[in-house]
Amino acid sequence: MKYLARKFGMLIFTLFVSMSINFFLPRLMPGDPAKALMDRMEGVEAEKLESVRAAFGLDTKDSLPVQYGKYLLNTVKGDLGISLSRFPMPVSSVLASALPWTIGLMGLCTIIGFSIGTLLGIWAAWKRQTKLASFTVGFFTFIRSFPYFWLGLFLIYIFSFKLKVFPLGGAFSVDQTRGSAGWWLSVVQHGILPAFTITLSSIGAWLLMMRNNMINVLAEEFITLAIAKGLPMQRIRLMYAARNAILPSVTGFAMSFGFIVGGGLITEMVFAYPGMGYMLYQAVNAKDYPLMQAIFLIIAASVLVANFLADIAIMLLDPRVRDGAK
């Protein structure tokens, strides 16, 4: 339980750091982006200016520490300011419309990518002398060298433009009534290509990680003992090799998941998929700073929470971690 408390402490602290980055970033930037924005917005309604000022801390006579304190308090309460591009909508309600799409898409892709990648990794390590395994590893390594967004562009070109099997972008068909069977079907239709992009490019990361872990574990003495015991190959492969090899994969989740979420965001941008990524894209182009920062915060928070969940998983999977022996 000490382990869990430590990890939870780390979660809270990293959340706090993310929030602080968010607060200080605009205030530290050279060239005073706030002023530049204000200049650009001359003649705009006073209310809108107000919210820009709020975002940059220009509206108050409070000292920096007081502003910081207020910001932290507001953020924790869920008050993320007012969106500039969708004025006067509060950022939180703008986000609420985008979040389900991202969670649906990324959640599904992460699970599928992790499962396929890990299974392929186990297989590729076990059969590493075969041509097919080398080819698979090579293929996914090559795929991984492509930028996510380009892979998306390529798939759109092939499947949407040339073959016309999938729509060019968006998340659903506007002709259908929301919630109807036809609408759901269109959601699936729109989701397949972006999901395929994310999954395809994330498989490589899991596969390579699992393969290398497996190869290392397969050289361990406990595998030799398992063979000496005459255990069925299936049991050796799963309970002895994979069971141990997956531990670093789960630990390595921190690194990979951040990457995949990043890639997912970009994929959304390419497919105009109305989730957090596409919204970030719009916010960036419209210089909607409060929205942009809130999106960063939400993404950071979800990655951090996912990592915390991975820590819990590791605790359940590894008795040594449970006992604090490792």
Position among 145, 164, 175, 177 found at the interface with other proteins (CB under 8 A): 145
Per CB under 8 A, does 131 bind other proteins?
no
For the bound state, the minimum distance from the C-beta of residue 195 to other proteins, rounded and expressed in Å, comes to 19
Residues 20-49 that bind other proteins (CB under 8 A): 21-22, 25-26, 29-31, 33
Q: Report long-range pairs for 54-63 (Cβ below 8 Å, ≥24 apart).
A: 54/81, 54/82, 54/290, 55/26, 55/81, 55/84, 55/289, 55/290, 55/293, 56/26, 56/27, 56/289, 57/27, 58/34
| Both structure tokens of 187 | 């959601």
Shortest Cβ 165–other proteins spacing (Å): 15
- The footprint of other proteins on residues 239-258 (CB under 8 A) is 239-240, 243-244, 247, 254-255, 258
Q: Are 203 and 117 in contact (CB under 8 A)?
A: yes
Tell how far CA 3 is from the center of its chain. 25
Residue whose CB is less far from other proteins, 132 or 185:
132
Residue with tokens 């780390």: 10
State yes or no: residue 325 binds other proteins (CB under 8 A).
yes
The rounded distance, in Å, linking the Cα atoms of 243 and 240 is: 6
How far apart, in Å, are the Cα atoms of 216 and each of 118, 235, 245? 15, 18, 8
Of 138 and 182, which has the nearer Cβ to other proteins? 138
Q: Which is nearer to other proteins, 137 or 187 (CB)?
A: 137
- x/- map, 197-226, other proteins, by CB under 8 A: ---------------x--xx-xxxxx-xxx
Residue 48 or 287: the one with the smaller Cβ distance to other proteins is: 287
Contacts of 247 (CB under 8 A, 6+ apart): 213, 314, 317, 318
Residue 64 makes CB contacts below 8 A (sequence gap 6+) with 27, 57
- Which stretch, 91-99, 105-113, 185-193, 287-295, contacts other proteins (CB under 8 A)? 287-295
| CA 287 – CA 56 distance, rounded (Å) | 13
193 binds other proteins (CB under 8 A): no
* Shortest distance in whole angstroms from residue 58 CB to other proteins: 15
Positions in 305-324 near other proteins (CB under 8 A): 307, 317-320, 323
Report helix, strand and coil shares of the chain as percent, to nearest 5: 75, 0, 20
**Vertex 153 angle, CA 152 and 156, to 5°:** 85
The reply on whether position 230 binds other proteins by CB under 8 A is yes
Residue 108 in the binding site for other proteins (CB under 8 A): no
Task: Identify residues 54-93 at the interface with other proteins (CB under 8 A).
Answer: none
Closest distance to other proteins from the beta carbon of 135 (Å) = 14
Q: Which is nearer to other proteins, 22 or 186 (CB)?
A: 22
Q: What is the 3-state secondary structure (H, E, C) of 79-121?
A: CCCECCCCCCCEHHHHHHHHHHHHHHHHHHHHHHHHHHHHHHH
State the minimum distance, in angstroms, from the CB of residue 181 to other proteins: 30
- Tell me: does residue 228 bind other proteins (CB under 8 A): yes
Scanning 66-74, 75-83, 115-123, 281-289 for contacts with other proteins by CB under 8 A, the matching segment is 281-289
Of these, 129, 178, 179, 234, which contacts other proteins (CB under 8 A)?
A: 129
Report if residue 259 touches other proteins, rule: CB under 8 A.
Answer: yes
What angle in degrees, to the nearest 10, is found between the helix axes of 253-271 and 243-251?
60
State the minimum distance, in angstroms, from the CB of residue 2 to other proteins.
16
Query: Which segment (41-49, 93-101, 180-188, 235-243) binds other proteins by CB under 8 A?
Result: 235-243
